[in-house]
Amino acid sequence: VIRKPGFYFGITLSDVERDMKFPAANRDMEYPVDEDFAGFTLGGFHDGDRFLAILDVDKLVADSELSNAAAPGPVSNERMSDE
C-alpha cells in the first residue's frame, strides 16, 4: 500500500524481497525495462541475473490512465474440479 497526500492505493507485486542496498554508482539508467513501465522507472540495479527497476511513484500517480484505474471483481484462474 502506498500512502501519499490525496492518494491511498495498493500495487500487486510478484515477489517481496528483504531490504536491499546497492551503491548509487552501480545504478543503470540504460537497461531496457518492460515498455509498460519504462515511463515510470528511474533506472535500476543488477542483482545477479535479475534487473531490479526503481519505480517512480510520483510519475505513476501523475499518470491519469493509471491513477484512475480500478481492478475488476475477484477472478479465479483455478479450475473447479470434483477432486
DSSP 49-65: TEEEEEE-HHHHHH-HH
Residue 75 is assigned to a structural domain of this protein: no
- Of residues 41, 38, 43, 12, the one with CA closest to residue 26: 43
Q: Give the C-alpha distances (Å, rounded to integers) separating 69 from 28, 42, 43, 49, 79.
A: 30, 22, 25, 32, 27
Domain span holding position 30? 23-67
pTM: 0.62
Give 45's strand partners: 52
Residue 6 is assigned to a structural domain of this protein: no
The 3-state DSSP class for residue 23 equals coil
6 compared with 48, residue with greater pLDDT: 48
Residue 46 is assigned to a structural domain of this protein: yes
Mean pLDDT of 10-16: 74
Residue 16 is assigned to a structural domain of this protein: no
For residue 68, what is the DSSP state? T
Give per-residue pLDDT as tens, 15-62: 777 888 999 999 999 999 989 888 889 999 999 999 999 888 888 878
**What is the tally of structural domains in the chain?**
1
Neighbours of 61 (CB within 10 A): 16
Query: Quick one: cell of 28?
Result: 543503470
Residue 18 is assigned to a structural domain of this protein: no
